Amino acid sequence: MNPFSSEILLTTYSQCRSRSVIRSVATLPSSFCLNLPGLPMRVFILYTFLMVMQDRLTLHNFLTLSGSDSGIGHALAKHLDSLGFVVFAGVLDKDGPGAQELRQSCSPRLCVLQLDITSTTQVKEAYLTISEQLQNAGLWGLVNNAGILGFPADGELLPMSTYRHCMEVNFFGAVQVSKTFLPLLRKSRGRLVNMSSMAGGIPLPRYAAYGASKAALSMFSGVMRQELSKWGIKVAAIHPSGFRTGWSEQWDEQEQELLASLAAETRSAYGEEYLLGLRSYLVQLPSHCAPDLSPVLAAVLHALLATRPHGLYTPGKGAYIPLFIFCCFPLWFYDFFISKVLGAGSAPGQPRMAGGENQKL
C-alpha cells in the first residue's frame, strides 16, 4: 500500500439504484394502490413515490476513498468500478505503476488524481475537485484507507522517526481528510469508514509504532461515531487480520536507520543475531498473510451501503479471536496466547539475557 496515496471515488451506482427502487415498490401494501380513488390517482402516487426514492438513492452516489496505489485500496477501486461506480483515484504518483494499472484495467469512468493525504494543499484541492463534481449534492461515503506499516521491530529499537511517520500517515492524515470532507458527508447523512488494523485493537509484538497509530485511528472512529450520530452520519472502523497487501516501503533504508540509531548498550542487550533476524521476519511476513482481499472488500461495502452498518468489522480468518481474548480474559492469558501464536515459527530469534531473564517475544 502506498504510504501517502489517496483515492477519490465519485459513484453512480446505477445497478443498485434500480434494484433498490424495485424492492421498495415491492414492499408497498397491496391494498395501498387498490384503495386509491381511480387509476389517475394511483399513477400519480406511484410516480411521486418513485421520484422520492430516486432522490434518496441519489445521495448514495458519491464516495471518497484514500490509498489506491496498491493493496486494499487498489482492489477496492477496481471492485467499485466493476459495480458501476465512477471512480476518481488519487495517488501519490499519478504516473506510477499503480495509477497506470488503474487506467488500463478499469473503465473510462475512472479518473486518476495526484493526492498526498499528508499535504494540506492537496487534500484541499481534492475537496474542491469533488465539490465541483458533486455540485449541490452531498458525499455519501468517505473511506480512510491509506496507511504505512513501518519496519516491524521491538518498540525499544524503533527510532522516533518511525513513530512520527506512522502517526503522520495513519492517524493525522486520516483525521485531516475526515475533517475536510465532513461538511459533504453531513449533507447526505453519509458514512465515514476508517481502515484500522487488528494491531489497532490489541497489542502485538513488533508493531508498537504501527499499532499505536492504528489504535489512535480506532479511538477517533469511536468518538466520531458518537459525535456525528446527531447528523445521521454512521462511522465504522475496519480491523482486518493479516492480508497480503503488497507493502512497497523502503525497508533497506528503514533497517539502516534503525541500526544506526541504536545505542551501544541497547545493541549489546539484544545481540547482533537478534537484530539481523528482524529482516528474516519481514521476509517471512507475507507467507503468514491471506492473499484473498475479498473479506475486507465485503466489510467496506457493507459499512458503506448497509442500512444498519456495524461500528466495528473484523474481516479475516480468526480476526475476532485475539480481540475476544484480550477483552474477556486476564492479560497474562492474552500475553501467553499471543506468545504462542507469534511463537518460534515467526520470531526473529531471541535477544540476549537481560536482567537474568530471557526477553522472549
pLDDT confidence of residue 194 = 96
The answer to whether the predicted template modeling score (pTM) of the entire model surpasses 0.85 is no
More confident residue, 194 or 114: 194
- For 257-313, how does the pLDDT look when each residue is reduced to its tens digit (9 = 90+)? 888 899 989 999 999 888 888 877 776 776 667 778 889 999 999 998 899 999 999
Please give the positions annotated as active site.
210
Q: According to DSSP H, which parts of the chain are helical? A: 14-26, 30-34, 39-58, 71-82, 97-105, 120-134, 160-166, 174-188, 208-227, 251-261, 264-270, 272-284, 294-305, 320-328, 331-341
The CB density around residue 282, as the number of other CB atoms within 10 Å, is 20
3-state secondary structure string across 155-202: CCCCCHHHHHHHHHHHHHHHHHHHHHHHHHHHHHCCEEEEECCHHHCC
C-alpha to C-alpha distance for 221 and 156, rounded to whole angstroms? 28
C-alpha to C-alpha distance for 320 and 243, rounded to whole angstroms? 15
Mean pLDDT of the chain: 79
- For 158-188, how does the pLDDT look when each residue is reduced to its tens digit (9 = 90+)? 999 999 999 999 999 999 999 999 999 999 9
Which residues are CB-contacts of 205 (< 8 A; sequence separation ≥ 6)? 154, 338, 342, 361
The CB density around residue 69, as the number of other CB atoms within 10 Å, is 29
More confident residue, 193 or 32: 193
Classified as helix, coil or strand, 207 is strand
pLDDT confidence of residue 287 = 65
| Residue 238 identity | I
C-alpha to C-alpha distance for 338 and 270, rounded to whole angstroms? 21
- Mean per-residue pLDDT for 29-49? 51
- Mean per-residue pLDDT for 64-92? 82
Closest listed residue to residue 205, CA positions, set 165, 155, 169, 246 = 155
228 within 8 A of 191, measured Cβ to Cβ = no
More confident residue, 57 or 307: 307
